[in-house]
Structure 1
């Protein structure tokens, strides 16, 4: 991370603590450089970075002013989870939500799919042109499991940088992060087994559990601190848990991130009970503030963590490239991937490898994180202005979705049906649990192209409340 990004993060933390309040002028760049022992150029770059994030506003001949208002609404409450494993059902409703993404007549706040404006579309196009021109014969054939060596090498290098000592031979390319999670669960469980998930949890995971005939044991999660380790410890003592599936960095839908201390405590707790962790790190590259957090895999020395991720939230959902580090079960995982889908598209693998090897990814991520921070702040501000008093809004540490808890007895499942008739899609809270405890909640995708159509769509949704 560059020095000016570090300074920008420090200043943003002070703004969020209201050391500098909305509308207040920041100290001049010369004073900032003196206070933080950096050059004037670094101070200027930091202020421009915060301007890009939507935190500061530059006023000619006056300086930089805080433009992001402090949060008016409280964070959502942590709900008690069920005390016993439950079968998963009813997840077929998700398909209607996902199909709404491809309907140009709808404003999509539902599926967590970033608008192409948030993706390096031109760079990915150039990478495809290069590999199709230089390796056209290879591109029309299968790249059987474990996948293209170039891509496995690039992913292994990135994991090593995250303190995960992984070799290319330990990486399996999959069609998505969801396929990686599915393969890991097939390796670890059989129908009828119990799997720990956080509550609320990503509905795609519940779909996987339903398809595999597994039971979900939901553990409550704090909107900022993440899964309750105390509740998890009690559950592990009481139930024969076969696996634990968690998004440890910027959980979907809460946006919470476990601290390094809690990640190590989690791994220690699971080790005591010999329960494997399937770690979904799909949002790990997307902090809104500060450095990229380490995955739990970086502390794993006993092969207990099955690491899963993909490129769908950062580079391109259409690439359909994910990966799994299955440890000692590499050969079995390769066979399961083969019988699932034979192989991942060769051109997609080679294009992603080409993009990563050219070294532009980290620079792009710095820009993308700023865009996400700006998008989340903008959505938060508009929800605070439009939604009723008593609404609670998450404060995600990363990713690009908001979790909103509505006041009273609002049924967001019924609300979602009326919203679709008004041309607006969102994800109702009932999808994120096996029970009905989040019926008054909803999830909003912030990574949308913000224009007058989106403004009107959000206003129509608010009017339905």
Structure 2
């Protein structure tokens, strides 16, 4: 095991114990020497672990006494409520609010808390550029030729290899490439459903997925969702006879950041398979876990080929490259037919470049750094929120992903808060855009994909003041 990996594993292990309450405020941690003996690491590595935990505000040092678990302000922040969408309420897309939020996303003068992707400064741009040059040099016709319909073979091979980490055991022939995550989901919805069919989803859910389903004529049934463990399985059982397909983001979904326990994933896969209902699984955030181990996927428990596994590098490596993929199980031929009609081929150069980046091993190194940054950002955000946001504010406690869900008391309308914030160069994502029902008006999603700085802290502080004044 490499020293870098061991350092990260030890740091994440202690951080996880603190966040879960195993280690509590005021508890004393092992000394540097004891940590060295326990994990067979050097003094420098042990000191680095403690420095990183201090940087995340999880521990504090006391002269002549050692290291102790900090008294974490965010632990005073309660979790948001389990969502309670109506199973019969009419679908109503907040088109004007979505348009307003997204039309401002390209502005350089804004603090973009509304954008759920990592900042470019957190991405390995120089190394990606080298892979682009290499791909252009080595591909047939310098990358101008069409790829095979199923997609870049090298990319599919690397994705198959990486699937072992979550129990997927995929073969390259099981995969079809797509132009990003949304393109993958689009192919799956069109392959499985016809206008008028009903699709079940989490609530709240990413606005782009809701818009996609509506655009192809599907009825959306929103499921009650717990901010930590995902959909309420009992609620899914009650409506199972009313749905034609299901779409879930089981690992660190946006905006809640919930992660379904493995036993829940297994139960959902079994339930849907018994009723012959396909499951589209969006695992675009699965690599952004904060703990020591990547979570499994619903596809890990798929014995009948009824889970269509979708993912991409849009949230981890290169949003603009549009590199995604599908493991469609028994629906492979339907997906290939749709790809032939709607795309013919994926982008040869960017898909080859990502394949090269994965093969080089640089992706894992990048992910370790990115996960560490996002985990630290989460800690900074919630501590700042605990200090400066109005009393009664609730926040999610994601164990991975790119976003934080904030719930205010009912007096605060985040669509109105958006208007106040945008005047002060702050962009947020109001909760109402993550549902087709009249709910979450007092909620918002914040991106934690920005490098932490004093400016970010000050903008969060100002946002808290604006929220308090809007009551």
Task: Output one character per residue of 1:116-158: Cα deviation in whole Å (capped at 9) or x when no partner.
Answer: 1222222211211222233372312332522111111111111
Residue of structure 2 equivalent to 1:236: 240
Query: Alignment length, in residue pairs?
Result: 462
Residue 184 of structure 1 pairs with residue 188 of structure 2: yes
Residue of structure 1 equivalent to 2:100: 96
- Cα distance between partner residues in 1 of 2:382 and 2:188: 35
**Which range is displaced more, 20-29 or 276-285?**
20-29
Residue of structure 1 equivalent to 2:130: 126
- Cα distance between partner residues in 2 of 1:382 and 1:55: 14
Residue of structure 2 equivalent to 1:442: 444
**Which range is displaced more, 9-18 or 172-181?**
9-18
The alpha-carbon deviation at position 20 of structure 1 amounts to 4.8
Tell me which stretches of 4 or more aligned residues in structure 1 moved more than 6 Å: 58-62
The alpha-carbon deviation at position 5 of structure 1 amounts to 3.6
Q: TM-score, normalised by structure 2?
A: 0.91
Taking only aligned residues, the RMSD between alpha carbons, in angstroms, comes to 2.3
Q: 1:114 to 1:3 in 2, by over 3 A?
A: closer
Task: Output one character per residue of 1:92-134: Cα deviation in whole Å (capped at 9) or x when no partner.
Answer: 6434323323101111001202111222222211211222233
Residue 109 of structure 1 pairs with residue 113 of structure 2: yes
1:320 to 319, 322, 332: 322
Residue of structure 2 equivalent to 1:335: 337
The alpha-carbon deviation at position 275 of structure 1 amounts to 0.9
Residue 269 of structure 1 pairs with residue 271 of structure 2: yes
- Cα distance between partner residues in 2 of 1:54 and 1:139: 47
DSSP-derived class of the 2:244 partner: strand
Q: Is the 8 A contact 1:85 1:216 kept in 2?
A: no
Residue 202 of structure 1 pairs with residue 212 of structure 2: no
Residue of structure 2 equivalent to 1:15: 18
Q: 1:371 to 1:23 in 2, by over 3 A?
A: farther
- Cα distance between partner residues in 1 of 2:55 and 2:454: 20
Counterparts of 1:117-266 in structure 2, within 5 Å, are 117-135=121-139, 137-237=141-241, 239=242, 241-266=243-268
1:27 to 25, 30, 48: 30
The alpha-carbon deviation at position 331 of structure 1 amounts to 2.8
The alpha-carbon deviation at position 64 of structure 1 amounts to 4.3
Task: Output one character per residue of 1:270-324: Cα deviation in whole Å (capped at 9) or x when no partner.
Answer: 1121111100000000111220011110111101100000001111101111111
Q: 1:93 to 1:143 in 2, by over 3 A?
A: farther
Q: Is the 8 A contact 1:177 1:308 kept in 2?
A: yes
- Cα distance between partner residues in 1 of 2:316 and 2:221: 30
- Cα distance between partner residues in 1 of 2:71 and 2:254: 24
Q: TM-score, normalised by structure 1?
A: 0.92
2:83 to 75, 79, 86: 79
Counterparts of 1:427-438 in structure 2, within 5 Å, are 427-438=429-440
The alpha-carbon deviation at position 400 of structure 1 amounts to 1.9
Q: Is the 8 A contact 2:156 2:172 kept in 1?
A: yes
The alpha-carbon deviation at position 420 of structure 1 amounts to 1.5
Q: Is the 8 A contact 1:54 1:68 kept in 2?
A: no
Residue of structure 1 equivalent to 2:412: 410
**Which range is displaced more, 151-160 or 393-402?**
151-160
Q: Is the 8 A contact 2:111 2:426 kept in 1?
A: yes
Residue of structure 2 equivalent to 1:303: 305
DSSP-derived class of the 2:76 partner: coil
Task: Output one character per residue of 1:215-251: Cα deviation in whole Å (capped at 9) or x when no partner.
Answer: 11111111111110011111114x1x11100001112
Q: Is the 8 A contact 2:250 2:283 kept in 1?
A: yes
- Cα distance between partner residues in 1 of 2:306 and 2:79: 33
Task: Output one character per residue of 1:392-418: Cα deviation in whole Å (capped at 9) or x when no partner.
Answer: 011011102110000132111122122
**Which range is displaced more, 325-334 or 382-391?**
325-334
Unpaired stretches in structure 1, ≥5 consecutive residues: none
Unpaired stretches in structure 2, ≥5 consecutive residues: none
1:47 to 47, 50, 56: 50
- Cα distance between partner residues in 1 of 2:200 and 2:401: 22
Q: 1:54 to 1:119 in 2, by over 3 A?
A: farther
Q: Is the 8 A contact 1:52 1:371 kept in 2?
A: no
DSSP-derived class of the 1:102 partner: coil
Residue of structure 1 equivalent to 2:292: 290
Q: Is the 8 A contact 2:312 2:324 kept in 1?
A: yes
